[in-house]
Chains A and B, each alone.
Chain A
Amino acid sequence: NAGVTQTPKFRILKIGQSMTLQCAQDMNHNYMYWYRQDPGMGLKLIYYSVGAGITDKGEVPNGYNVSRSTTEDFPLRLELAAPSQTSVYFCASSRGQGAKASNQPQHFGDGTRLSIL
């Protein structure tokens, strides 16, 4: 009963390093999302995908890239880590399709806590 799995759970990076945050879901959901959560704040959308091969920017995409080669996986790439990217990153997925897609709940992973020093 895995749901949405994120790896790693914690990571410390130096400024200018790059890394990929992994996200996988086993619910055959078409829609997947990456959010970041800064201290004391709600989540903000970085990127999203409505299906394999289709991605688009959210509210705060600068400094990040994504790809969606399969339905299951949606990795988030940081190319040149900056201190402003210190945050907790959450991946989510939902069915997302159909007339009532807007009320389909999103399922979240446990997050990746990233510090950039």
Chain B
Amino acid sequence: AQSVTQLDSHVSVSEGTPVLLRCNYSSSYSPSLFWYVQHPNKGLQLLLKYTSAATLVKGINGFEAEFKKSETSFHLTKPSAHMSDAAEYFCVVSDLTGRRALTFGSGTRLQVQP
């Protein structure tokens, strides 16, 4: 079975400082990994996805993530936080069986201080 673990339930940064949201995964095969963002009272929006083409993945709004097989990690980073980045972030692994369903981490709430 596949799973993801988000190591921090809450992260607080100051505007203009770097963001690091940590995610470790467990998978029997080469995984498909995603980061989604959820703003309050909204659905989930795809930030980026890892599909084995490149280990450093660039997403929307300046976010990127690096796939490290040796560490089974897929951490999300951004060089400079913006107030609009405050949201809930989910690390997600895709089911490689027929149903293609997603397994979600428990989420990391990012707070950005002015």
Contact surface of A with B, Cβ cutoff 8 Å = 4, 31, 33, 40-45, 48, 50, 56, 58, 90, 92, 94, 96, 100-111, 113
Q: List 27 A-B contacts (CB under 8 A).
A: A4-B43, A31-B100, A33-B101, A40-B9, A41-B107, A42-B90, A42-B105, A43-B44, A43-B102, A43-B104, A44-B104, A58-B101, A90-B44, A92-B44, A92-B102, A96-B100, A102-B95, A102-B96, A103-B49, A103-B50, A104-B100, A105-B46, A107-B46, A108-B43, A108-B44, A110-B41, A111-B43
Task: Look across to chain B and name the residue whose beta carbon is closest to the beta carbon of A31.
Answer: B100
**Residues from chain A with Cβ under 8 Å of B104 in the complex:** 42-44
Q: Chain B interface secondary structure, helix, strand, loop or mixed?
A: loop
Contact surface of B with A, Cβ cutoff 8 Å = 9, 32, 34, 36, 41-46, 49-51, 90, 92, 94-96, 98-102, 104-107
Identify 5 new A-B residue pairs, CB closer than 8 A, beyond the known A90-B44, A105-B46, A107-B46.
Answer: A4-B43, A40-B107, A41-B107, A45-B102, A102-B32
Task: Look across to chain B and name the residue whose beta carbon is closest to the beta carbon of A94.
Answer: B100
Q: Are B107 and A42 in contact (CB under 8 A)?
A: yes
Q: Are A56 and B99 in contact (CB under 8 A)?
A: yes
**Residues from chain B with Cβ under 8 Å of A94 in the complex:** 100
CA distance A45 to B92 in the complex (A): 13
Shortest Cβ distance from residue B25 to the other chain A in the assembled complex, whole angstroms: 13
